[in-house]
């Protein structure tokens, strides 16, 4: 057989054997980890947009890039995020919401634009807001385990959150 006939035949026969090995090494290469990190953040961003649609519709919220995603920082220093955590920040005027998801954990934090180094747990802030109005808060905010539950708890209290002085 001629070489030009043998090579495509061998490639077609051996590709299924070596493709999983190639995929494995790519998944754990720097580029593969970066791709996975970007995919996780995009997935979390779409879930946040769906669950917290009121932030975007009623409060002019928008997703802001992380500080490390500035143009002068090399891509390999921006990603991958540690322990496969995805981070999404939503800005609504003076209030910022940070969503962290990874390793089976979900955390939603809140800060003002003037106190970005002091992020507070959203469940705790919601508890404080409820306790300030009624001696016995109407619900337990420690059981918030999904984006939908966080959104359901935040939506009726959003105006109170914007007006209250909880960021001290």
- pTM metric for this prediction: 0.74
pLDDT in tens, 141-158: 666 778 998 999 899 889
Query: What does the pLDDT read at residue 74?
Result: 55
Pick out the chain residues at pLDDT < 70: 1-3, 26-27, 66-84, 132-143, 166-168
Q: How many helices (H) and strands (E) does the chain have?
A: 7, 5
Contact 151, 136 (CB under 8 A): no
Query: What does the pLDDT read at residue 9?
Result: 80
Q: How far apart are CA 88 and CA 59, in angstroms?
A: 17
SS3 95: strand
Domain ranges of the chain: 3-163
Query: What does the pLDDT read at residue 108?
Result: 93
């Amino acid at each position: 057989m001629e070489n030009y006939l043998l090579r495509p035949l061998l490639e077609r026969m051996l590709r299924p054997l070596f493709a999983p090995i190639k995929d494995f090494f790519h998944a754990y290469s720097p580029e593969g980890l970066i791709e996975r990190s970007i995919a996780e953040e995009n997935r979390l961003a779409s879930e946040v947009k769906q669950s917290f649609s009121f932030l975007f519709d009623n409060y002019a919220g928008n997703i802001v890039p992380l500080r490390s995603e500035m143009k002068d920082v090399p891509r390999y220093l921006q990603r991958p995020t540690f322990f496969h955590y995805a981070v999404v920040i939503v800005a609504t005027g003076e209030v910022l919401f940070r969503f962290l998801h990874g390793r089976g954990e979900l955390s939603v934090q809140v800060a003002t634009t003037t106190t970005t180094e002091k992020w507070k747990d959203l469940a705790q802030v919601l508890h404080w807001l409820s306790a300030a109005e009624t001696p016995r808060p109407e619900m337990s905010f420690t059981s918030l385990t999904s984006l939908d539950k966080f959104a359901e708890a935040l939506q009726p209290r959003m105006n109170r959150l914007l007006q209250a002085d909880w960021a001290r």
